[in-house]
């Protein structure tokens, strides 16, 4: 594995990774004048110049002081000094918080702090050379992430870091790389090497995997048998110990928790708890630990704002058969009405910080009476370290129950997508008017702001469901690109534009991606867009037998790209919450572990094949679907199907109709007719939005 090639500035003090962080600013002037305004050919003849021949330029933008920040060298040095104090040769910095959340609050973004990489998924590993006698400790630093973030990681990591590409050919897994480094450190030094991690930030499965991997690696050959390696828990988080030396440590966000009315949840908390107990408490199981924030929010019909975009609140939960339910939470976040509501449901409130000690005490009592705990596999290792009784580890029963939406939640999801569709229709019509008719300069962040304005007009809008991916040209090829205010690109109307965005409504959570073009696409752009669209339609129209898992149908969406040797480096689908996390387990469609779980009626998930031409453009078409019974039965098995509930037109300008068969054209026309029928009365017939909407939903006709 070679190091990331990265040049340094003359004074060697700036880091490409850290300079890209979201609070940085740079001049927009060069970006704005870079776009050559030519006749786009859209909507009739256009002048090649702006309405006025003189640009008004703010002179202050012509010379903005260069922003610099020390690179990660000093941070790594400080971390390695801490590692020496704790006798560690290797230290692991996960992305997750102690609730194993995918998206975390600012105080839990330790991996971003130490590496400069801002993607939501990844693991940082730092080694310390035990033989180094220099005042400045030496070692390696590696960042492991998946295909969604390869481009982003290459842009954000500085010269100190190696990039480990997950699931790439001839690449070790991050666990293998970590163990191999530890073994080599031990052989070089003749000493035992400890691999340390904060036990609250990894799952029990990661610990078990490392234990097995270390044993097998040490016995692989005679040379390795001379090494001594151990995987150890370090309760003092070492990144937390150095953070304030370099930056102001983010404050813990504690917002007020609020009740979600049953007209949105469709089921009372009391009924949910009884269902969970019935599902979980069998044989000797008398207790259940819940640490996943979205599971607690769903079970208690409560929502919060402790993590941006995710309506959850920091908490833990212990449910026992005889002693009721204990909620571990910061009491300051609970109003009197919420406290009364919890009391009425036999839920006692305990301090958030007392969770582990309380679990220790309860499990000691369980041990005396041969009772067991049910421990979800999505909890953290520290939970197991505090258990003093036997336990059974399983897929979280709440995650399973939560994923199957009731009728109220399904209708709520449809309502949410109708509202979001109305906002997106206004947005794309507005964007085309500004870029093409008015020849205005709109950057990626300004577009995002306008879309959010339209969403705020909708009733029960509670915020975005994730940071909007507003990406023009080559930025669209970065799967999880996030524009930086003051330093983002101006949207080029003669190139592809990708918008992946979503909303949180009281009724439900949305996630929609559309790729559009405001000019004349190339043949290759149109061809590749149509291949992605064909895959989206194939999955949308699929009927499949019950007990089918997502990994079995992933190729349905990829097949048309595969015919041309093309593919995409992310999953095809993820579960979607109900006014909860936009990424929800336990289902998915793709190569990931959750895709091995069976798809069930009532589950809501995305459909998002894509194609990415690095340095040029990105294509993704994402709809949200609900699984329902098709009415077909064969061999005693029910067949399921998908119902698409997203209500946003496709980009007709990018569709190569000649590549579509009659069934695909019929599906597109039927889909557009549905959107038109449900939303056309939302717009003034004399408005540009109405005209854009009518054009984009008019029937496709294949030339004879």
Q: What is the pLDDT of residue 12?
A: 35
Enumerate the CATH 3.40.350.10 domain ranges in the chain, comma separated: 72-246, 258-397
According to CATH, the superfamily of the domain at 72-246 is: Creatinase/prolidase N-terminal domain (3.40.350.10)
Q: Which of 663, 675, 650 is nearest to 702 (CA)?
A: 663
- CA-CA distances (angstroms) from residue 511 to 216, 541, 575, 580, 584? 43, 19, 11, 12, 12
Q: What percent of the chain has pLDDT over 70?
A: 90
What is the distance in angstroms between the CA of the first residue and the CA of the last residue of the chain?
Answer: 54
Neighbours of 547 (CB within 10 A): 12
Identify the DSSP state of 307. B
* Residue 667: pLDDT over 50: yes
Which token pair is 21?
A: 């962080």
Using 50, 70 and 90 to split pLDDT, how confident is the model at 23?
very low
Using 50, 70 and 90 to split pLDDT, how confident is the model at 594?
low
Q: What is the pLDDT of residue 299?
A: 98
Q: Rounded to whole angstroms, how far apart are CA atoms 308 and 482?
A: 15
* Residue 10: pLDDT over 50: no
Pairing of strands 285-290, 372-376: parallel
Q: What is the pLDDT of residue 676?
A: 98
Report the SS3 class of residue 283.
coil
Q: Which of 591, 620, 621, 574 is nearest to 465 (CA)?
A: 574
Using 50, 70 and 90 to split pLDDT, how confident is the model at 168?
confident
Q: What is the pLDDT of residue 22?
A: 38
Give tens-digit pLDDT for 110-150.
Answer: 999 999 998 888 999 999 999 988 889 999 999 999 888 88
Task: Give mean pLDDT, residues 641-652.
Answer: 98
Q: Rounded to whole angstroms, how far apart are CA atoms 118 and 483?
A: 12
Name which of 33-37, 87-91, 157-161, 440-444 the model is least confident about. Answer: 33-37
Give tens-digit pLDDT for 215-261.
Answer: 999 998 888 999 999 999 999 999 999 999 999 999 887 789 999 99
* Residue 71: pLDDT over 90: no
b/e map 413-441, b = 16+ CB within 10 Å = bbbbbbbbbbbbbbbbbbbbbbbbeebbb
Name every residue whose Cβ is closer than 8 Å to that of residue 587 and which is 6 or more positions away in sequence.
403, 550, 573, 574, 575, 594, 595, 597, 598, 599, 600, 603, 605
Enumerate the CATH 3.90.230.10 domain ranges in the chain, comma separated: 407-697
* CATH class for the region spanning 407-697: alpha beta
CATH topology of domain 258-397: Creatine Amidinohydrolase; Chain A, domain 1 (3.40.350)
Task: Give mean pLDDT, residues 293-322.
Answer: 96
Q: Rounded to whole angstroms, how far apart are CA atoms 341 and 348?
A: 11
Pairing of strands 610-613, 617-620: antiparallel
Using 50, 70 and 90 to split pLDDT, how confident is the model at 682?
very high
Of 507 and 51, the structure prediction assigns the larger pLDDT to: 507
Contact of 451 with 463, CB cutoff 8 Å: no
Q: What is the pLDDT of residue 58?
A: 38
Which token pair is 567?
A: 């593919």
Name every residue whose Cβ is closer than 8 Å to that of residue 264 and which is 6 or more positions away in sequence.
408, 409, 412, 506, 507, 579
Q: What is the pLDDT of residue 543?
A: 98
Using 50, 70 and 90 to split pLDDT, how confident is the model at 596?
confident
Beta bridge partners of 165: 145
Full DSSP string of 394-407: ES-HHHHHHHS--H
Using 50, 70 and 90 to split pLDDT, how confident is the model at 595?
confident
Tell me the whole-structure pTM to 2 decimals: 0.88
Q: Rounded to whole angstroms, how far apart are CA atoms 453 and 431?
A: 13
CA angle 126, 129, 132 (to 5 degrees): 145
Q: What is the pLDDT of residue 38?
A: 41
Contact of 327 with 315, CB cutoff 8 Å: yes
Q: Rounded to whole angstroms, how far apart are CA atoms 665 and 642?
A: 18
Which token pair is 391?
A: 């336990």
Q: What is the pLDDT of residue 377?
A: 92
Q: Rounded to whole angstroms, how far apart are CA atoms 492 and 52?
A: 19
Q: Rounded to whole angstroms, how far apart are CA atoms 193 and 231?
A: 9
- CA-CA distances (angstroms) from residue 245 to 52, 116, 137, 240, 241? 51, 16, 18, 10, 9
Q: What is the pLDDT of residue 164?
A: 93
* Residue 397: pLDDT over 90: yes
Using 50, 70 and 90 to split pLDDT, how confident is the model at 151?
confident
Contact of 538 with 556, CB cutoff 8 Å: yes
* Residue 434: pLDDT over 90: yes
Which token pair is 360?
A: 């220790």
User: What phi and psi, each to the nearest 5 degrees, are found at residue 158?
Assistant: -90, -170
* Residue 313: pLDDT over 80: yes
Q: What percent of the chain has pLDDT over 90?
A: 80
Report the SS3 class of residue 436.
helix
Q: Rounded to whole angstroms, how far apart are CA atoms 418 and 422?
A: 6
Three-class SS of 310-377: ECCCCEEEEEECCCEEEEEECHHHCCHHHHHHHHHCCEEEECHHHHHHHHHHHHHHHHHCCCEEEEEC
Q: Is the peptide bond before 653 cis (omega within 30 degrees of 0)?
A: no
Q: What is the pLDDT of residue 702?
A: 82
* Residue 420: pLDDT over 90: yes
Q: Rounded to whole angstroms, how far apart are CA atoms 643 and 417?
A: 13
Q: What is the pLDDT of residue 167?
A: 81
Give tens-digit pLDDT for 369-391.
Answer: 999 999 999 999 999 999 999 99
Report the mean per-residue pLDDT for the chain: 89
């Amino acid at each position: 594995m070679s190091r990331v090639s990265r040049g340094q500035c003359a004074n060697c003090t700036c880091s490409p990774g850290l300079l890209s962080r979201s609070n940085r600013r740079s001049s927009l002037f060069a970006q704005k004048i870079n776009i050559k305004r030519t006749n786009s050919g859209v909507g009739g003849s256009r002048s090649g110049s702006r309405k006025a021949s003189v640009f008004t330029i703010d002179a202050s933008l012509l010379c903005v002081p260069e922003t610099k920040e020390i690179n990660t060298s000093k941070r790594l040095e400080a971390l390695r000094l801490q590692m020496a104090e704790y006798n560690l040769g290797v230290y692991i910095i996960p992305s997750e918080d102690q609730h194993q959340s995918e998206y975390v609050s600012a105080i839990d973004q330790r991996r971003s702090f130490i590496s400069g990489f801002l993607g939501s998924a990844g693991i940082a590993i730092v080694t310390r050379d035990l033989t180094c006698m220099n005042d400045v400790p030496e070692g390696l630093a590696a960042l492991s992430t998946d295909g969604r973030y390869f481009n982003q990681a290459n842009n954000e990591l500085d010269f100190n870091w190696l990039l480990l590409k997950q699931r790439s050919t001839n690449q070790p897994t991050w666990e293998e790389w970590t163990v191999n480094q530890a073994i080599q450190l031990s052989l070089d030094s003749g000493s035992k090497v400890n691999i340390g991690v904060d036990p609250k930030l990894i799952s029990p499965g990661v610990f078990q995997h490392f234990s097995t991997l270390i044993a097998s690696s040490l016995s692989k050959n005679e040379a390795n048998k001379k090494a001594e390696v151990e995987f150890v828990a370090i309760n003092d988080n070492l990144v937390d110990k150095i953070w304030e030396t370099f930056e102001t440590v983010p404050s813990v966000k504690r917002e007020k928790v609020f009740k979600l009315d049953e007209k949105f949840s469709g089921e009372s908390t009391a009924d949910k708890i009884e269902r969970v107990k019935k599902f979980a408490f069998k044989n000797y199981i008398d207790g259940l630990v819940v640490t996943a924030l979205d599971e607690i929010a769903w079970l208690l019909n409560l929502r919060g704002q402790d993590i941006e975009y995710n309506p959850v609140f920091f908490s833990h939960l212990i449910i026992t058969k005889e002693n009721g339910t204990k909620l571990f939470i910061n009491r300051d976040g609970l109003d009197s009405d919420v406290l009364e509501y919890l009391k009425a449901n036999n839920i006692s409130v305990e301090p958030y910080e007392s969770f582990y000690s309380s679990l220790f005490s309860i499990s000691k009592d369980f041990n005396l009476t041969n009772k067991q705990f049910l421990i979800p596999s999505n909890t953290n290792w520290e939970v197991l370290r505090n258990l003093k009784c036997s336990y059974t580890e399983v897929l979280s029963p709440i995650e399973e129950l939560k994923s199957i939406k009731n009728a109220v939640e399904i209708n709520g999801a449809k309502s949410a997508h109708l509202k979001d569709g109305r906002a997106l229709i206004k947005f794309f019509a507005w964007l085309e008017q500004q870029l093409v008719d008015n020849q205005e300069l709109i950057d990626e962040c300004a577009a995002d702001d306008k879309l959010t304005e339209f969403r705020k007009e909708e009733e029960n809008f509670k915020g975005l469901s994730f940071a909007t991916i507003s990406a023009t040209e080559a930025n669209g090829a970065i799967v999880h690109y996030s524009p930086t205010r003051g330093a983002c690109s101006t949207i080029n109307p003669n190139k592809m534009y990708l918008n992946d965005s979503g909303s949180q409504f009281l009724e439900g959570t949305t996630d929609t991606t559309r790729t559009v073009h405001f000019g004349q696409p190339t043949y290759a752009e149109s061809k590749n867009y149509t291949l992605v669209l064909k895959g989206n339609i194939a999955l949308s129209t699929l009927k499949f037998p019950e007990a089918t898992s997502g990994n079995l149908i992933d190729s349905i969406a990829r097949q048309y790209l595969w015919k041309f040797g093309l593919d995409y480096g992310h999953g095809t689908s993820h579960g979607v919450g109900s006014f909860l996390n936009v990424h929800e387990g336990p289902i998915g469609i793709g190569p990931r572990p959750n895709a091995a779980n069976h798809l069930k009626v009532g589950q809501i998930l995305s459909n998002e094949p894509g194609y990415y031409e690095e340095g040029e453009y990105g294509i993704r078409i994402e709809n949200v679907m609900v699984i329902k019974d098709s009415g077909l039965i064969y061999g005693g098995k029910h067949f399921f199907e998908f119902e698409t509930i997203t209500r946003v037109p496709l980009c007709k300008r990018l569709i190569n109709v000649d590549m579509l068969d009659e069934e695909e054209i019929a599906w597109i026309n039927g889909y557009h007719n549905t959107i038109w029928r449900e939303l056309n009365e939302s717009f003034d017939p004399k408005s540009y939005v109405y005209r854009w909407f009518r054009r984009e939903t008019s029937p496709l006709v294949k030339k004879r």
